[in-house]
Amino acid sequence: METTLRGVGVSHGVAIGEVRHMGTAVLEPPAKQIPAEEAEREQGRARQAVEAVAADLMARGNLAGGEAQAVLEAQALMAQDPELMADVDRRIAVGSTAERGVYDAFAAYRALLAGAGEYLAGRVADLDDVRNRIVARLLGVPMPGVPDSDEPYVLIARDLAPADTALLDPALVLGFVTEEGGPTSHSAILARALGVPAVVALPGAGELAEGTVVAVDGSTGEIFVEPSAEKRTELESAAAARKAALAATTGPGATSDGHKVPLLANIGGPADVPAAVEAGAEGVGLFRTEFLFLDDSKQAPSEESQVEAYRKVLEAFPEGRVVVRVLDAGADKPLDFLTPAEEPNPALGVRGLRSLLEHPEVLRTQLTALAKAVEGLPVYLEVMAPMVADRTDAKAFADACRAAGLEAKFGAMVEIPSAALRARSILQEVEFLSLGTNDLAQYTFAADRQVGAVSRLQDPWQPALLDLVAASADAARAEGKSCGVCGEAAADPLLACVLTGLGVTSLSMGAKAIPYVRATLAKYTLAQCERAAAAARAVDTADEARAAAQAVLSGE
């Protein structure tokens, strides 16, 4: 009998297939004591296992490329965290085996992350995966992972760690459903990058029996269990119509009455360029440069290696626009040579531009490399700073760009409410704004983007967040400058229309989302988008905002 379940849709598309569950294994080692004389040997085993797992994660990242590479390399750094390893050594010194010391040390760190008793949807999944990989290696058992199947299937899991998500084969994994996670978790972001339909935060997903046929709608978040023939036909027809609409809409992004909205791609490095070009991206709206720095957390990459990597991306978009974000380190992306060793709250500490201003040689080398990389190329280079708080920050960045001889537009990311509220002041120093909606939501609502318990506050449809977007766009319009969005919000086709109505001048997203956004924008006039934006801001909750915008655009 057909039943319907509802989670949170995080990646567009429809998948119909049989359920296969992520493999699990008992990875809690026995709590037995070892003689004191074996402690040094066990500590050596633990260190070897940690290094092997870190190397494996780095290798998976190199294979996956793009966003996945940055995520997996950050996970490798997590495995090698010196405080965690010191705790492992202490536990082994008082009698734990290597595997038990690792298990207990990670459990203690997990409890710290969980804070008030609610687990962290994204970061804890990453931490658990690292622990499982180290313990499995020490126990000599295979890692649980994606099921072995010759036939395509829908994958069900409690949560998916980045190492699993990054290497999913879209030819076999039709879609996936998780019990945990949120719209900005690593798994959700990587699902969108892969173009795999996905639904997260579905309680009870693990109870779906192996082999059960389900239909997954990654747009609505609905799961149809044992769908009827009629429902299958309905979903398949809707998917075919959507695919036809995507194919029929080509060229630059624009509303139906010709208001241009450039559609740009978010990339993590040269490996992401082919997908962006294939999707028809009009340029790059967010080039995350962290991938190059994560290769070695001990020291910054050389100027020469940076020039080579940047030039590969710049060459791919002749006459196009490429917006490069300088290194955004700190919080969940620590680097030994840049990030303070201990901070009570890294997300509110020395991160982003603050780190670079404390280490001006790192910023100077990156800006000089960008200046050299763009020489002789017919590309419109723009460079922006992360975590700009006020005009003082903006001026310091612009001064650094000029001192490096960089011939490009200088911009500021709006990720802190103060930057949105004082956007016009900041625009006295820089030439454009770019809204990072993920972090802007986090700081607006005091809601960690990795904490599943506060996921409703991470929803980019929150009217308060839309107010800050509108304030930034209004300031840019008043100054005759541009204001784009490069956060995950831009990948939601309906929200893209609302952002356009708020006055946003460009939208940047994962390459897979570009056709969906292009086709949706082309259905509505600018005036309709403006009415939808006004309706979304006139209510009090994210769900009401989404419904209000949908009602306006559907003519209800």
Both tokens of 481, joined, read 């400058």
CA distances from 321 to 126, 132, 408, 409 (A): 34, 43, 11, 11
No. of H helices and E strands in the chain? 22, 16
- The residues annotated with a catalytic role in the active site are 186, 486
433 burial level (CB within 10 Å; 0-12, 13-18, 19+): buried
Q: Alpha helix (H) ranges present in 80-212?
A: 82-93, 98-114, 123-139, 162-165, 186-194
CA distances from 192 to 68, 309, 455 (A): 11, 24, 18
Sign of CA dihedral 522, 523, 526, 530: negative
Provide long-range contacts, Cβ within 8 A and 24+ apart, for 35-38.
Answer: 36/95
**Any idea how long the chain is?**
556
Both tokens of 61, joined, read 């990242």
- CA-CA distance, 550 to 2, in Å (whole number)? 27
The 3-state secondary structure of 484-519 reads: EECCHHHHCHHHHHHHHHHCCCEEEECHHHHHHHHH
Sign of CA dihedral 490, 478, 546, 414: positive
